[in-house]
Structure 1
């Protein structure tokens, strides 16, 4: 599958002659991809496929195509690669090369072919938003660790490149190197980049102020090392150009705890930095692959922060394209040579992501498009299991803290979970027989799971935090064992002095499960901890994005394993889902997805005095803002037009609830009032509400 882009160029046309020019770069096609080197998808020469359609005022049409009448040449870009960087010699610029009057007699005619010598695949219109520069950052500090070497601190770990402004003599060579951290002596830390050079070189042409931005590369960095600069650079010499897929930001979250606000910022910046056409694991080292496990763990958080529907539509096609004949989904998508397939929590992204997109956007199309792929995955899991128990293989709960979850336990849990999701999606698209079939299979896998791994007292093989999180989240335990399992999870946390031990797989479900089973205080305590391992620990150590490891850096031991130590890795930031869905309580209703019906159920605790969030749904803005003030709980709610909502308040007696200064029975928009155990449920229509109740 090869995406083409469509542009309206009408406004660019001039009366008289016009010209079209294109600059080609290696990119994904022929550049460095992860650890496998160049030419993973294609080889040189590079090809341009262009078709320009012109419609005149009289209705006649012309079609211009790229063919052997075109000419080509080399230019100032001597080298450009996603991972390695770019070398640009401004002395070789061709003034006016893309204008009609340019003298191209020294250029050569290009090779043209109706059957280009590259793996064409299927040409499709680009589905996802294009990558653009979305923000610009100015440096906050310049240091000089040694003479002639300057370090610009952008104040934020970011992804993109920099704009360089410089004046100097022709032939002066300026080298820009990029890194996420500094060594103890103030020099640039690059060991975690592995073979990715992340280096741009600019050679001046010597004609006044020169402005340069690279063309076919991007970097993950907070710090820019500049050498060769004529004189001492000023702050305006460098501007950070933040680039990512141009999605609107749809979520806003803020609360009374400064560290948690920084956590939300770190989550958002990691999403920005890793959503460049593909949801990558990291943006800096020689990896930058679309790891499926990371993507599915983070998908609900991602959908709050940004309008991701088209981004995930495109990526799910990458996932489907990479699916093996056996039905196994791959560990990364687009597929990269040498990477595996069929592993629990990774391959399951092929089911979990479509379900999440359906919940968040009400989009049945993504289910219908990928339904066959999803059922092939279920059959793969079934065939490659023994009596419905998955083998002890895969990555496990990646980067857990000395608390391994047996891989057969994890694999079987995910087998059950995605089977249940496929049953639900079969119902959504009217596949009644399949709904029944997969519901029965889910029931049988649950029984196999309990028989193989669960004691009569509710202990699960492995006895890790993630064991209990998965079993409870994925509804694998009989009713009589769930309370015991939740209690054991809380005990496991207490045994670690109130710390988590989950890795990538368990982390997103940990706080939701604790909250659902009555351990809200434990959930808040985990969220706000700043000792290792915790989200706050990285923030206490200066993080501005989510780290790959809980201990990517410690004051005591320094940097973590350089073989795998990204400082911009969104997966552990999947806790953002809990902050939106539980702390402020904005939730989608699976029965009326896409926020057609909204659930507002904030969970107050942790010593927080207020929290507020908004989410720009397809119907409009949803707001939930609670505050504790003068022994009252105030809850501001906004429900968009053409939707309804269920609003929960933590009081049994509805007569104690006011809306503004009025009792509920005098309030417009209240459809129904239900007094429940420990809370009141209000069914409301669209509008703005200000509820308050005594809260001590």
Structure 2
């Protein structure tokens, strides 16, 4: 009997334990345990969890902040916010006493659920403040004393120092003019690449912070830093690349704060005591690649025992640290690796390796040869029709890495301060057959967390999702680039604008876009015009190179996307003046409320043919497009003003919006609803941006369908029309047509490139034509994410996951059945937790499984197997199963 009682007691205890409300995933400024925060009032976020997550919502929270008590070797309470009655669990600002530059802090939180049940205290999270004011930098800007030129060898800078006490913590703060890579005692500092990242350097220069305690040792230590040209002064831009855009000299700013066990501190700084030289890296440039000559390697140069007697003294450079900012976005890191799937000898006799995936990064080579051997690796995305190595679409970019051997030993090489976009490599300089084991392709991109997944019963759509994701990986490399392979790789604003919603599902782009949007504002012209690219390297003197509709609207659309996806109102506060300046710029260009001036890219790369005698090219009036985006940006500005309690702006721009729409109707729409540019893009933008009165909307949608049928169910849209095409069709009861377009596999369509073997999204619908020839080499990227914007429709409609409130605080799950699909599933890691939607049809029955995260609510619409009717269920968090 006693045993039975004990057993029941244990079961009851386990049940209570399993139902315990806990708090997890603590983030400070959207980062896990960051060590360089420059927001004087950091914001805290967390998630709730129980064993089953059933009906969990928060009613209150309490936060405590501690700081180390060095004297007594424990944490001391620094601030307690008390119990706060709210369901808010995101972006809670610190409200205690002033935080110290470089200070270390920890925090924990407990919550109460809707029934008043209290959680335990969470495990502690930590953060460190960055260097908050320029005077916190005791280091000096230094550079090599020897002649320093763009195409010359990389510079090596070093110094030595000693440690004679136990180290409690050590933090390195580093930035540079040019790329840098630091070592302490011969070991790489951190795992980031292409630091300090790309910003509008003269206005905002990021520094990185690293925990380097484990790299230090008692006794003698050394620091070594390699500097390369990077974005700072590499030739940038297509056609005629411009070198030295931000400056002509490489520079280093480095400061290490060491805190000993007894609380005393020591600073190691860059100053005139450092020395400089050059080594194996003879050339490193973004477009052309690098040359490593190991015969010139200075072995051990970053270790304490190295003799630098023959090295030159560095020179101290002028520097103004007022533009230094802490890094908030994820660094570029190495990710997936690929081994060769095929070794090819081309008709020209070239040795080619196929890695099976178009990716961005480089090839890691392990080789044993002879002293003086020169190994050259060139890169390409495709082979031409006969099967030869094709690089014409790289334009002037050489995209090749050269390794010169010093001895007959086996060595492993990776390039430095460069990267390539490729699927294939051409190898020269290796005698005999190539060994696939010697080659590894390494992907490189900003280390954003993967948040979204999608799959379904159609393998081609699964490949499309794969291509969308790999297009994002390859082009989200510190800035959202247009292409990763040719002599461009720039932050084109239009591309980022159209893809931002899809991007925010697949990866956590919160910090990525927050950082980049600050450069949008920094490089915005005084007129309010937005440059074509960010950072802006097109500008010369007072010449403004920007102002295109759909491109400049990145200033409003992307901040709004970030807000709706992550619920972070601070992004709108940060960007509001930039958003307003963009709308005001447009307004100043208008005549009678019509935007009919300026240079516009229009519906870039829309479907067209050379001979337009039969009217088959889908040309949409650029000013019609401009008017639609003018209205869209104004509407977003109104929404933002309302949210930020800027009532005067809300009223002013609401009146302006009515004038914009009225002018559109008068200029471009006939009384019976015919839009003057009778194209898919014209109808799509007019409907998506609400440019038409209610009585004309359905007939406009029907005209859109008529146009699609005219092209035998093919799309004709370009960059600006494509993202919204299927969305508009679905909103106006033509989901069947949306599915037909999505599943079309002949040119032009989303699936045509897949049938042609694409593993990323192409820049053009026909990058490879139906006869196997290529589009014009001057602009034909095979890794260009813009047309991948269709992903947003797939996730919101096929899987049915939609945000009804910012941050997915309220969720809608409403799958659209069609396209012959028998099942589909998508998952998304929202700021509140994991959302999942899965449905499957067997016979006449549909089964559906849904996961809703804690502290949210959802409306779940369950369709029948034909997708004709829905049943609605309103639920709190938990897992739900339905059958119809």
TM-score normalized with structure 2 length: 0.74
User: Does residue 65 of the first structure (1) align with residue 278 of the second (2)?
Assistant: no
For the residue of structure 2 that corresponds to 1:52, the secondary structure is strand
1:122-201 pair list within 5 angstroms: 122-145=323-346, 149-201=350-402
Based on CA coordinates, which of the two structures has the bigger radius of gyration?
2
Compute the displacement of 1:185 (Å). Answer: 3.3
Select the residue among 271, 284, 308 that pairs with 1:104: 308
Separation (CA, whole Å) in 1 of partners of 2:623 and 2:242:
36
Select the residue among 477, 495, 498 that pairs with 1:297: 498
For the Cα contact (< 8 Å) 1:167–1:230, is it kept in 2?
no
Compute the displacement of 1:548 (Å). Answer: 0.3
For the Cα contact (< 8 Å) 2:385–2:772, is it kept in 1?
no
2:823 corresponds to which residue? 610
For the Cα contact (< 8 Å) 1:267–1:573, is it kept in 2?
yes
Compute the displacement of 1:381 (Å). Answer: 0.7
Q: Which range is displaced more, 345-354 or 431-440?
A: 431-440
Compute the displacement of 1:147 (Å). Answer: 8.2
1:649 corresponds to which residue? 862
For the Cα contact (< 8 Å) 1:612–1:623, is it kept in 2?
yes
1:681 corresponds to which residue? 872
Compute the displacement of 1:436 (Å). Answer: 2.0
User: Does residue 269 of the first structure (1) align with residue 470 of the second (2)?
Assistant: yes
Q: After superposition, what is the alpha-carbon deviation per residue over 1:442-465, rounded to whole angstroms, capped at 9, x for unaligned?
A: 122111111111111111111110
Compute the displacement of 1:433 (Å). Answer: 2.2
Q: After superposition, what is the alpha-carbon deviation per residue over 1:67-117, rounded to whole angstroms, capped at 9, x for unaligned?
A: 11000111000100111100000111111110000010111010013x24x
**Larger relative strand fraction:** 2
For the Cα contact (< 8 Å) 2:347–2:387, is it kept in 1?
no
Separation (CA, whole Å) in 1 of partners of 2:373 and 2:235:
28
Counterparts in 2 of 1:637 and 1:256: CA distance versus 1, 3 Å: same
For the Cα contact (< 8 Å) 1:646–1:681, is it kept in 2?
yes
For the Cα contact (< 8 Å) 2:760–2:783, is it kept in 1?
yes
2:3 corresponds to which residue? none
For the Cα contact (< 8 Å) 1:541–1:554, is it kept in 2?
no
Select the residue among 200, 205, 211 that pairs with 1:8: 211
Q: After superposition, what is the alpha-carbon deviation per residue over 1:549-605, rounded to whole angstroms, capped at 9, x for unaligned?
A: 00110241600011100000000010000000111110112xx31011111111000
For the residue of structure 1 that corresponds to 2:807, the secondary structure is coil
User: Does residue 476 of the first structure (1) align with residue 691 of the second (2)?
Assistant: yes
For the Cα contact (< 8 Å) 2:346–2:389, is it kept in 1?
no
Separation (CA, whole Å) in 2 of partners of 1:248 and 1:175:
34
For the Cα contact (< 8 Å) 1:40–1:337, is it kept in 2?
no
Select the residue among 844, 847, 850 that pairs with 1:637: 850
Compute the displacement of 1:39 (Å). Answer: 2.9
Q: After superposition, what is the alpha-carbon deviation per residue over 1:289-331, rounded to whole angstroms, capped at 9, x for unaligned?
A: 1111110100000000000000000110111111000011111
2:27 corresponds to which residue? none
Give the gaps of 5 or more residues in structure 1.
657-676
Compute the displacement of 1:120 (Å). Answer: 6.8
Counterparts in 2 of 1:642 and 1:583: CA distance versus 1, 3 Å: same
For the Cα contact (< 8 Å) 1:176–1:201, is it kept in 2?
yes
Separation (CA, whole Å) in 2 of partners of 1:45 and 1:451:
56
Separation (CA, whole Å) in 2 of partners of 1:74 and 1:121:
30
Separation (CA, whole Å) in 1 of partners of 2:473 and 2:792:
16
Compute the displacement of 1:230 (Å). Answer: 3.1
User: Does residue 367 of the first structure (1) align with residue 579 of the second (2)?
Assistant: no
For the Cα contact (< 8 Å) 2:384–2:773, is it kept in 1?
no
Q: After superposition, what is the alpha-carbon deviation per residue over 1:213-251, rounded to whole angstroms, capped at 9, x for unaligned?
A: 011000010000001013211111110010000011100
2:680 corresponds to which residue? 465
Compute the displacement of 1:14 (Å). Answer: 1.0
1:335 corresponds to which residue? 536
1:20 corresponds to which residue? 223
Select the residue among 557, 561, 570 that pairs with 2:785: 570
Separation (CA, whole Å) in 2 of partners of 1:279 and 1:189:
25
User: Does residue 622 of the first structure (1) align with residue 835 of the second (2)?
Assistant: yes
Separation (CA, whole Å) in 1 of partners of 2:408 and 2:484:
34
Separation (CA, whole Å) in 2 of partners of 1:546 and 1:24:
34
Separation (CA, whole Å) in 2 of partners of 1:303 and 1:129:
14
For the Cα contact (< 8 Å) 2:255–2:270, is it kept in 1?
yes
For the Cα contact (< 8 Å) 2:815–2:863, is it kept in 1?
no
For the Cα contact (< 8 Å) 1:2–1:121, is it kept in 2?
no
Compute the displacement of 1:355 (Å). Answer: 0.3
For the residue of structure 2 that corresponds to 1:222, the secondary structure is strand
For the Cα contact (< 8 Å) 1:148–1:227, is it kept in 2?
no
For the residue of structure 2 that corresponds to 1:24, the secondary structure is strand
1:93-492 pair list within 5 angstroms: 93-113=297-317, 115-116=318-319, 122-145=323-346, 149-338=350-539, 340-391=545-596, 393-401=599-607, 402-492=617-707
1:664 corresponds to which residue? none
Compute the displacement of 1:184 (Å). Answer: 2.9
Compute the displacement of 1:630 (Å). Answer: 2.8
Counterparts in 2 of 1:270 and 1:14: CA distance versus 1, 3 Å: same
Separation (CA, whole Å) in 1 of partners of 2:549 and 2:830:
31
For the residue of structure 2 that corresponds to 1:151, the secondary structure is strand
Q: Which range is displaced more, 553-562 or 366-375?
A: 553-562
User: RMSD of aligned C-alpha atoms?
Assistant: 1.5
For the Cα contact (< 8 Å) 1:244–1:276, is it kept in 2?
yes
Give the gaps of 5 or more residues in structure 2.
1-203, 608-616
Separation (CA, whole Å) in 2 of partners of 1:411 and 1:630:
48
1:596 corresponds to which residue? 809
For the Cα contact (< 8 Å) 2:853–2:878, is it kept in 1?
yes
Counterparts in 2 of 1:454 and 1:146: CA distance versus 1, 3 Å: closer
Compute the displacement of 1:424 (Å). Answer: 0.6
Q: After superposition, what is the alpha-carbon deviation per residue over 1:114-162, rounded to whole angstroms, capped at 9, x for unaligned?
A: x24xx87711111211100011111100012268731010100000001
Q: After superposition, what is the alpha-carbon deviation per residue over 1:602-642, rounded to whole angstroms, capped at 9, x for unaligned?
A: 10001110110000111111001111113111111000011
2:190 corresponds to which residue? none
Separation (CA, whole Å) in 2 of partners of 1:361 and 1:68:
46
TM-score normalized with structure 1 length: 0.94
For the residue of structure 1 that corresponds to 2:227, the secondary structure is coil
For the residue of structure 2 that corresponds to 1:156, the secondary structure is strand
